Structure 1
Amino acid sequence: MSPAWGLRRAVARRFREPAAQAGDPGHAARLATYLGDLLEPYALGAPGGMAGGQSYGEMAAALLPDEPVDALVLAYDIPDVEPGRATATWLSHVCPGGPMALSVSDQGRAGAHTALRLLRDYAGSGTYERALLVVAEQSALPYEPGVPAEVPAEHCAVALHLGPSTVEVARPRIVRGAGPHDVVDLLGEAGGATVVLGGHLAGVGVKADRVVLADPAQPMTGVWEALASVDGPAVVADFDPALGYLCVSAFGC
């Protein structure tokens, strides 16, 4: 991989309206049947409606680049309003370049860092140099999950456009079993880089000239939305209390 592989730009968008499918009675009925069948063995009760839900496919499609890319990864945590769609495959079809595409889920906040690590490793192998990482979350959870879960306040998606760049991406670090204050040692001295901290890291005394706090109401996308507003070198750090993952990704450091 060329040392110049990294972040080209980051684009964030909040979606104020629900997906068209979310208001379709036929889709709602099929979704209720599907979710009910999945929930029944776990005695979690009947699913509610997803009238206000959003589609990760539609959200991601709104952030696709005009130029072709080689690889696309969708990272999410909250289920999609359209679980019947193979979203990554569909995005490969509509994205310029027909990229290799996959999804990363069930890792909480670590999902986006895992996706970034995968794309960096793919680029390092000499394939899939130009890439797109889409981090998305929608705010409708139609059932009680039975475990602690943080549901976002709004629908949001962030696209990280990756490829030849002077803003090199270091290999993301994901530490399991860590606590919020372990981020101080993990980050070390950030120097002139802006440090973006997830909601559960607010108040931790990191050594940095500038610290930006992500919106705590957006568990998955908060840090990446904040990154999109930062100029220059940046370090993104997030902590998932449910899974005990401490994650750090550096850009241009």
Structure 2
Amino acid sequence: MPAETRGLRVTRAVAAGFDGHSAAALHPDLRTFTADLVRPYGLPLREDLLTEGAGHDYGAMAAGLFEQALPGGEPADLLILAFSSPDVRPAAPASLQLSRHCPGQPTAFAVCDQGSATAFTALRIAAAHHRTGGCRRAVIVLAEQSALHYEPVEPVELPAEHRAVVLVCEEAPGEGLRVRQQAEPDGARALRSVCDEHRQLGPGAGLLLAAELASHGSPETAGAASPGQPFTGVWSLLADRLAERLADRLPGHGALLVADHDRRLGWLSTLTLP
């Protein structure tokens, strides 16, 4: 008799916004690190933000969400911190700091420098790690903070607020999550590709779009993230949708497709949740 298929699924998600700033935003190491980072490119520092201590550190933001995301101290085997905008504690590995606060003290590392695709890459890595047999529960921490302490080469969309999302992925019977990533420079074509993928999932499948994708138009049945959170927006939407599912406020629990497109990098990413 064939062995039962077991995959990794996103079973719950917690999202929260944060006001104010953290003490790390006033640490002199932030100025030193940022100055070293931009000096080869001749980019000016944002002296106003450095002086006022704008920004929030990702470790502090996410650590307070573990109790809600992992009730009863459920232990995790793997923790991945994924971010697009820089942290305000550049000299301290926030993923390792978070592993000490996370039940189970899981293996931890960070993924970055892939724009909005970073979150999907983290999920793809978690699924691959699960297939090795070494991960029954993974925690994916997604974070963005609204301060950029230097002038970018070209205009970029900054988050409207500091925000973190914690995704809990657990082993369950049946097919697990699937991540697809591909080069796609054109946003309108990216949306058409997502809609085709959504139709292939069959009747009853849900669709959640990041704000950039939804700006090209979207089906009436799709959920669209509000503008203002370029990295965490669609994942906050997913947290709301999963909460509705758990509360049985949604009819049926068909497949769910989550999609984001990074315009600057020309990269399309989708996540299918069975």
TM-score greater than 0.5 by the shorter chain: yes
CA distance in 2, matches of 1:58, 1:214: 25
Does 76-85 or 30-39 show the bigger shift?
30-39
What's the counterpart of residue 8 of structure 1? 11
Q: Is the 8 A contact 1:179 1:246 kept in 2?
A: no
Matches within 5 A, 1:124-139: 124-139=131-146
Residue 203 of structure 1, CA deviation: 5.0
> Could you give the per-residue CA deviations for residues 82-111 of structure 1, whole angstroms, max 9, x where no partner exists?
111111111122211110111110000000
Alignment: residue pair count: 247
Aligned residue among 220, 226, 233 for 2:237? 226
What amino acid is the match of 1:240?
Answer: D
Which residue number corresponds to residue 94 of structure 1? 101
Give the superposition deviation at 1:166: 6.3
Q: For the Cα contact (< 8 Å) 1:36–1:47, is it kept in 2?
A: no
Alignment of 1:1-253 (within 5 A): 2-22=5-25, 24=26, 27=27, 29-48=28-47, 49-50=49-50, 51-64=53-66, 65=70, 66-165=73-172, 169-180=176-187, 181-186=189-194, 187-189=197-199, 190=201, 191-204=203-216, 210-230=221-241, 231=245, 232=253, 233-252=255-274
State the TM-score, normalized to the length of structure 1.
0.90
Q: Distance in 1 between matches of 2:145 and 2:107?
A: 24
Task: Kindly state the Cα deviation for residue 32 of structure 1 after the two structures are TM-superposed.
Answer: 1.3
Distance 1:203 1:137, change over 3 A: closer
Q: What's the CA shift for 1:63?
A: 1.7
Offset, 1:70: 0.0
Displacement of 1:192 in angstroms is: 1.1
Q: Which residue does 2:248 correspond to in 1?
A: none
**More displaced 10-residue stretch of structure 1: 151-160 or 140-149:** 140-149
Normalising by structure 2, we get a TM-score of 0.83
After superposing the two structures, state which structure 1 stretch, 42-51 or 140-149, moved more.
42-51
How far has the Cα of 1:170 moved from its partner?
Answer: 2.8
Distance (whole Å) between structure 2 residues aligned to residue 117 and residue 159 of structure 1: 16
For 1:154 and 1:57, how far apart are their aligned partners in 2?
16
Offset of 1:206 from its aligned partner?
5.4
User: Using the alignment, how far apart are the partners of 2:198 and 2:232 within structure 1?
Assistant: 24
Is 2:80–2:108's contact at 8 Å kept on the other side of the alignment? yes
Distance 1:16 1:167, change over 3 A: farther
**5+ residue gaps in structure 1?**
none
**CA distance, structure 1, for counterparts of residue 20 and residue 129 of structure 2:** 35
Asked whether the 8 Å contact 2:190–2:261 carries over to 1, the reply is no
CA–CA distance in structure 2, aligned partners of residues 6 and 140 of structure 1: 33
Please identify which structure carries the higher helix content: 2
Q: Aligned equivalents of 1:17 and 1:167: distance in 2?
A: 43
Q: Distance in 2 between matches of 1:224 and 1:193?
A: 17
* More moved, 68-77 vs 162-171: 162-171
Structure 2: segments with no counterpart, 5+ residues: 246-252
